[in-house]
Amino acid sequence: MKRALTLLGLVACLSAGAGNPALANPPSGPSVPSAPASAAVGAQQFTLSNGMQLIVQPDRRAPTAVHMVWVRVGSMDEVDGKSGVAHVLEHMMFKGSKELAAGEFSRRVAALGGRDNAFTSRDYTGYYQQIPSNRLEDVMRLESDRFANNQWPDDEFRRELEVVKEERRMRTDDQPRAALFEQLYATAYTASSYRRPVIGWMKDLDAMTPDDARAFFRKWYVPSNAAVVVAGDVDVAEVRRLAEKYYGSLPAKPTPERQTQAEPEQKQLRRITVKLPAEQAFVALGFKVPGISQLETLGPQDKDALALLVLSEVLSGYSGARLERALEQGPNRVADSAGSSASVLARGPSMFMLTGVPAAGKTAAQVEAALRAQVARVAREGVNAAELERVKTQWIASNVYERDSVFNQAQGLGSYWSMHLPVDAEERLLQHLRAVTSKQVQDVAARYFGDRQLTVATLDPQPLDPSKPRRPESASEQPLH
């Protein structure tokens, strides 16, 4: 799997609806584009009178704005038996308030010349509108009403729950690789809430009630657990005034306590086989690794997590990277595709993933061995200066291109906020990544890829039913919601 990684893509590893990073070749040569003269200035963060956060990123290049509300709650905050409720509630937020009937919210945004949507992940839930900047006050009025006064009849809940169940069937049950990843996480984690899928287990969806969603809303949708993010052609002082008017006036409520479960140390390799109708076998290796907890003063685990990000990009971050050359090319090729990812920015535990699709005549076991051999090679020999420089140059260039999108700016700011990181997290992250050395990459390759950190999931393809139409497999190696 070849991809060009943006810094926002690092955060999006667990984000909702993010899909796969763009399939593209890295910039050719070492030159890095300069930021436009009219590029955005630094973001500013404020605390509203009720504890809600406001983050504003001015960017005057076009008369548009993105308005987002982020709630620091996701599937990791659910309890056993109630999996999927965070995502179901996201759907229900479009089903009415004291002021609006079901579906009216999106119709009004469209009438303003905008578009809107929402997303749920393990770590957060977000709602956004992309509108002409002179319509910002209108969407703030709409969104603040929905945030404070979401309500709907029981029949509306039951109808929408069936929509969510069908979404689960389409995106997981009928997608062999998505089903495999779901089982991998359920096997790798025994205590952490990351073992539950964002979409929810079907048995939990079957048992879910309207009051489950209402209780989740009342508990978590409080000002002190949310942030408003605005990016685009806006004036900071005016946005702050509007935010106080529409959001700061909402009643302050205490932030609920979080019940997080520490994951016990894994003692040995875990292995599962998933038998489903599919055209090709597939193998995924998930290694438990440290994550990034803060970016101001790096601790040992933060430094290791950054080196793991670099390792992942050395392995598969550009066209012709190590996994492609070693596994996908030549007369002895073993894989049709191979890739890596390092999900190290999250509120919960982190995982480094290696994946592969066996070539014709090759087995999943051969791909598994070949993937591990490439990491072992880095542990023995390190990485050369040219590889390291290419990855870092690509990050710098991607960071500049990413800022061309007002939506990406807002998405990044909200994602970092949800991880308790500062508004300048992207700049700090880039600075730290540029400082990673070949020795650090070699060191993490040697320390974090043993059997005791590993869960292997193998898709054993079963015959397809010719009478049943197949939905195409997502382009994403790892399903994201």
Catalytically annotated residues: 90
3-class DSSP state of 392: helix
Q: Are strands 282-289 and 350-358 parallel, antiparallel or unpaired?
A: antiparallel
Alpha carbons 56 and 429: distance in angstroms, whole number: 20
Q: Specify which residues 254 forms β-bridges with.
A: none
3-class DSSP state of 289: strand
Largest CA distance in the chain: 67
Please state the length of the chain. Answer: 481
Which letter, b or e, does each residue of 453-469 get, where b requires 16 or more Cβ atoms within 10 Å of its Cβ?
A: bbbbbbbebeeeeeeee
The token pair that represents 388 in the structure block: 């390291």
Using alpha carbons, list the distances in angstroms from residue 116 to 101, 120, 140: 16, 14, 13
Alpha carbons 370 and 310: distance in angstroms, whole number: 20
Side by side, which strands form the sheet with 282-289?
Answer: 270-277, 454-462, 282-289, 350-358, 335-343
Residue type, 243: A
DSSP structure class, residue 93 = T
What angle is formed at CA 377 by the lines to CA 373 and CA 379, rounded to 5 degrees? 115
